[in-house]
A and B are shown apart, each in its own frame.
Chain A
Amino acid sequence: MTRAPLSGWGRYPVLPCRLERPADVADLRELLRAGEPLIARGNGRGYGDCALQPEGATASMLAMNRMLDFDARQGLLTVQAGVLLADIVDAFLPRGWFPAVTPGTRFVTVGGMIAADVHGKNHHAAGSLRRHVAWLDLLAPSGGIVRCSPSENAELFDCTFGGMGLTGVVLRACLRLAPVRTAWIRQETVVATDLAQAMDAFETSASWTYTVAWIDCLARGAALGRSLLFRGEHAEPGELPEAWRQAPLRAPAGRGWRVPVDLPAFLLNRLSVRAFNALYFRAGARAPGSRLVDWRSFFYPLDAIGDWNRIYGARGFAQYQCVIPQAAARGGLAALLDTISAAGEGSFLAVLKQLGPQDGSFSFPMRGYTLALDFPVNPRTLALMEELDRIVAEHGGRIYLAKDARISRERFAQTEPRAAAFRRLRQARGMHPRYASALSRRLDL
């Protein structure tokens, strides 16, 4: 089979890969037997090079997408790894269940979510996905299937979350869903005119289930870090207007939009982003403080715009997501925002979020603040991101591999002292070099 250009969601980098489409475990074993490096790929929503394997085989897991069992007493759902989160929500929200942890898009596979150990707007209280997975089945390099849970093969379970597919192919998993009574979120908006206020707002909102802030990364001086903090709770049926109470678990689907072409990169410039941010901030500040929002708008606003990655033009974009530990957060975030606004390379989508404690030995989240921004890829932004790497390293932070496409091996080693143990595990268990990706090669994992 031939290699064809393949990329992650950021469309950078684009590498020639042989995309295999295994229908079952037997097909995967066949690929393992071929002896070349292998990496599993979900729905391609990882941003960078985590699901690209230009030297061996990239195995799309989308055909292994069956839901296998649901225990309605405990909300335990067993699925194959290629099932999309969107399908889980479609099937189970009408029955009163919602993912206990969800990332900002529902077009991700269960296997992909496990590999990245995704977190959501409730990380400060609920932790990352790992806390809500009862067990998973992993295809070992030998071709055997290993059941992993917090009590069985615990080390493998631990490292598979955040392991970016480098510990094996996730075949099946058992997820704990959370009961909900409506499809609506009661949302409050808190206006923060600078970074200190934004961080205070997170601290005072810690009892809310969901918190997240949009941050104006181009604001400078006294307005540095001005934000809109959104906090939300699942609404109870009694809070809904009479008309919605008949079917509280159904919320109308808005109309979907698509980005039909790659937009020219020059549309995104300092002026347009600054103008957008100023308008967005003012609109948010004027809007009513508390309102009901449907689940799609609250959790997945970007999912309403198909192919939104095209707004950054054909050259693609890089998402930069880092976390700065709590103790160093104020200084670290200020230094990051200073550097970004001085460079004038802002993005529409800048997100600030307080994270809870670290659970895993190779997962991204740690207690502190995470900042996520998009940059169109060009020499200026690549240089800027290297500067941001330096600041993150200086403050004891780290970057999120599910988003990364470009951090250097040296800088990564500086931010991830945990990588050595991960690499040792991979070597000891024969995962290296059998399971490998462009990312693992770049970062020497």
Chain B
Amino acid sequence: MKQDPKQTAVIVGGRSDIGLALARRLARAGHPIVLAARRAGELAEDAADIALRHGVDVRTQELDVLKPEGYAAFLERLPADTGIVACVVGLLPDQQAVEGNPQAAQQVVDTNFTGPLLLLELAARRLAASGAAQPAVIGIGSVAGDRGRARNYWYGAAKAAFAAGLSGLRQRHARTPLLVMTVKPGFVRTRMTAGMDLPPALTDTPEQLAELIHRALRRRRMVVVPWKWRLVMAVIRLIPERVFSRMTF
């Protein structure tokens, strides 16, 4: 059974639960994997596990999303057959701690917006020029970016900016085979949300989200939202601002 060799998939934020789940799903489909993160050496066991289970090549590569000066060198070192770059980096801060705190606000914006968008912008340019068949860059936004709430508006605002940036990037490369995918999850059960009281019916596991992304990748979908959240957000977007501003959720 000979199959086409699959392109390498790069997961930036390879330590996160969503990143690892996505890496596993893509490895199962036969893609070699690069896990990129800070202190990438600590991911050696995860890399070995994915490689052994799925029989693909998995390597780790050092990257700090908060240091954009390192992006070019990072992309330079990626395998030549790289066809997918996914950025699942994100920081969900304690909103109260960010309000009125310029440094904390800067970090939220850099981690959720500036860093990921700059990185995917550079990756998109490289993939579009590489001649790879069906290349893709994937960014993880959030439904929290669709409407700002008192509880997490710094996070939501950064995710909204990221989504707008990806939309522009998509237009920029519309005449190339490059797919720019925006994923907007709802609640996901991860270490980032551990301890939060999440409604089970609206909460996905990282594995479910990874499955959704993988399916969307095969169908070349541009914007991906879990269907339950599409319904929820359709309603939330319709609420007049005067009413929404007084709601407490």
Contacts and interface: CB of A to CB of B under 8 A. Distances in A.
Contact of A66 (B1, B46, B54): B46
B210 to A, nearest CB: 17
B49 interface: yes
Interface in A217-259: 247
A422 interface: no
B45 A66 contact: yes
A91 B49 CA distance: 11
Interface string B38-72: 00000001101100111100000000000000000
A70 interface: yes
Contacts of B49: 65-68
Contacts of B55: 91, 95
B53 A69 contact: no
A87 interface: yes
Contacts of A80: 45
B1 A68 contact: no
Interface in A329-364: none
Contact of A69 (B46, B52, B54): B52
Interface in A57-72: 65-70
A247 B53 CA distance: 19
A8 to B, nearest CB: 25
A70 B52 contact: yes
Interface in A30-73: 65-70
A67 B48 contact: yes
Interface residues of A, number: 13
Nearest to A80: B45
A67 B1 contact: no
B190 to A, nearest CB: 12
Contacts of A90: 53
A177 to B, nearest CB: 12
Contact of B45 (A68, A70, A87, A95): A68
A67 B45 CA distance: 8
Contacts of A87: 53
B53 A91 contact: yes
Contact of B48 (A65, A68, A95): A68
A58 to B, nearest CB: 19
A95 B52 CA distance: 11
A66 B46 CA distance: 7
Interface string A73-101: 00001001000000100110001000000
A80 B44 CA distance: 13
A70 B49 CA distance: 10
Contacts of B45: 66, 68, 80
Nearest to B44: A68
A77 B49 CA distance: 11
Contacts of A91: 52-55
A284 B48 CA distance: 45
10 closest A-B pairs by CB:
A66-B49, A67-B52, A91-B53, A67-B49, A66-B45, A68-B48, A70-B52, A67-B53, A68-B45, A91-B52
Interface of A: 65-70, 77, 80, 87, 90-91, 95, 247
Given A68-B52, A70-B52, 12 more contacts: A65-B49, A66-B45, A66-B48, A66-B49, A67-B48, A67-B52, A67-B53, A68-B49, A69-B52, A77-B52, A87-B53, A91-B55
26 contacts: A65-B49, A66-B45, A66-B46, A66-B48, A66-B49, A67-B48, A67-B49, A67-B52, A67-B53, A68-B45, A68-B48, A68-B49, A68-B52, A69-B48, A69-B52, A70-B52, A77-B52, A80-B45, A87-B53, A90-B53, A91-B52, A91-B53, A91-B54, A91-B55, A95-B55, A247-B1
